[in-house]
Amino acid sequence: MALREPGTHRHEHAFGRFNPLDPEGVVLRSRRNLLKASLAGMAGLSVTDLLQAREAAARAGKSSPGQKSVILLWMTGGPSHIDMWDPKPDRPVENRGPFNTISTRMPGVRICEHLPKMAAMLDQFTLIRSVDSRKSSHEPNTVMQTGHPDAEPRVNIHARKYPALASVVAKQRGPNNPALPPYVAFRRSDSHIAYAGYLGKQYDPFIGNQAARLPVYSLVGENTGQMAGGDVFSFPAGLNAGRIRRRQTLRSAVDALRTSLDDNPEMEALGTLEQKAVDLVLGEQAREAFDLTREPAAMRERYGSHLWHQQALLCRRLVERGVNFVTLDLSYHTASGTWDSHGDDIPPYGGITTGLKPILPLFDHLVTTLVSDLKERGLLDQTLVLCMGDFGRSPLMTQFDGRNHWTNVMSMALAGGGLRHAQVIGATEPDGGNIAERPVTPGDLAATILRHFEVPVDVTYTDHTGRPVYVVQDGAPIHELF
């Protein structure tokens, strides 16, 4: 088998992490080397994440009832609850902030003036104003996406191994559609989303940026005019469907070699992935799901041309076609996130006026268009839309018109999922600094998501010591929603 010299391979193949082009792989000195080289040759297919996510289909021994799904709109950096969903209009300006409030479709409930579309259909949402985020931080963002209060890497070296709730669903429920991965994420940075951890790499998210052609935005939110992505389903020069099918004969060699390989989790995960790589890369369902050009022009215009809006349309396309869980990382910046409104003179952060205000209309249009579209298509009752971030922001404004991290409390919004909406759950004290009533914990959120998917809330996984760990830690489904 002819292999290119290191440094000349311009297309990232699916098994790059096995370093098949290192000298060991080129000279084929051992059975492991032969496997590495064979997989590299077979998989001009592309990124390992694709294979890992699809492995969930094989692990599902039975079909799951219904086509339940979740779309998580992850507001990376920590959106200000006081300046969005829990305003304090009667407080001094240094507390209430620079924005006015507006009335909503829920009598007596007011939200930020820069969310008019959401205000007009707030009866289709639930606001939770008492989310306890005391152990949450960001970079990496783990506590709120895993539901585990100890998933904070700064204090727990094993925190990154706690599995994303999306990964738990992928394993416990299996895919809604075996032709598509159960967990898809659009990410700006790998530190912005949670992964499978203890569950195994086969339940990591498939990174949607690689499969969809999308506009490229700079770190400060400027459209560069360039496009990227979509190459997961493209063949490198000289490789076509026929050649890929012929390379499936390598599977017999792989099977023969597997028993002599060392015990390695990554190798073990590959056990059922070779054929799936071919099927998914050639699969028309997956290709079509990530192709926005298949969407009518009027619908693309309805969502808008902004990167986040195009990704939201993809979220709808994916759950419509059978993806269980989609996480959309709403951030331009690859560091702490665009919603991290300290007031730094470092674009795109800025303060509440300079940083938060410009993105609120974008979010307002995104979430209301998505919810309306899901409802019109009859998908809203089976699709739970979650809007949240890492934590809240401090009650007092900084001298730079910003707010600092505030983990005591945060707000979030929910829609769909066949749940009871048109309500506000919980409340904060007059200055918005602490929970006044009805605390909602990360464990409660985890239990609510599992119940939505009809996954037992007492499900466990095994940690690095072999000890079973409950996915839901000190939590129960939020009873007001059911």
Please report, for the chain, the start and end positions of each structural domain, with discontinuous segments joined by +.
66-230+290-481
Determine the residue type at 438: R
Q: State residue 154's pLDDT score.
A: 81
**DSSP β-ladder status, 392-393 and 423-425:** unpaired
Supply the pLDDT for residue 189: 94
Structure-token match 């914990």, residue found: 441
The per-residue pLDDT for range 401-433, each reduced to its tens digit, is: 999 999 999 999 999 999 999 999 999 999 999
Measured between alpha carbons, how far is residue 460 from residues 147, 169, 325, 443 in Å? 13, 12, 19, 13
- Give the number of other Cβ atoms within 10 Å of residue 1's Cβ: 10
- Looking only at the bridges linking them, the beta strands covering 223-228 and 214-217 are antiparallel
* Rounded Cα gap, residues 410 and 14, in angstroms: 39
Give, as one character, the DSSP assignment of residue 246.
Answer: H
Local structure of 70: helix, strand or coil? strand
Biggest CA–CA distance in the chain, Å, is: 75
pLDDT at 231: 76
SS3 label, residue 457: coil
- Written as six digits, the tokens of 174 are 């299996």
Residue 19 pLDDT? 41
Cβ(346)–Cβ(335) under 8 Å?
no
Q: Are 176 and 166 in contact (CB under 8 A)?
A: no
Global pTM reads 0.80
Q: What 3-state class would DSSP assign to 416?
A: strand
> Given this model, what pLDDT does residue 247 score?
54
Q: Nearest Cα to 278, choosing from 328, 233, 216?
A: 233
pLDDT tens-digit map of 36-78 = 433 333 333 333 443 444 444 344 443 344 689 999 999 999 9
Start-to-end CA span in the chain (Å): 59
Spatial separation of the C-alpha atoms in residues 243 and 412, rounded to whole Å? 49
**Rounded-to-integer distance, Cα 203 and Cα 56, Å:** 6
Look at residue 242 in the predicted model and tell me its pLDDT: 58
- Rg, the chain, Cα only: 23
Length of the chain: 482
Residue carrying structure tokens 């939201």: 312
Q: Where are the alpha helices (DSSP H) in 97-249?
A: 116-120, 143-146, 165-173, 241-247
Instruction: Dump pLDDT digits (tens) for 428-475.
Output: 999 999 999 999 999 999 999 999 999 999 999 999 899 999 999 989
* Residues 6 or more apart in contact with residue 225 via CB below 8 angstroms: 215, 216
Q: What is the DSSP secondary-structure string of 103-160?
A: E-SSTT-EEETT-HHHHHTGGGEEEEEEE--TT---SS--HHHHT-TT--TTT-TTGG
CA dihedral (78, 83, 86, 90) in degrees, to 10, reads 150
66-230+290-481 in CATH: which number? 3.40.720.10
Angle at 288 between CA 287 and CA 292, to 5 degrees: 110
Tokens representing 426 are 């919980």
Structure tokens given for 123: 């009866």
**Buried-exposed string 233-243: b where 16+ CB fall within 10 A, e elsewhere:** bebeeeeeeee
> Which residue positions in the chain have pLDDT lower than 70?
1-66, 234-283, 347-348
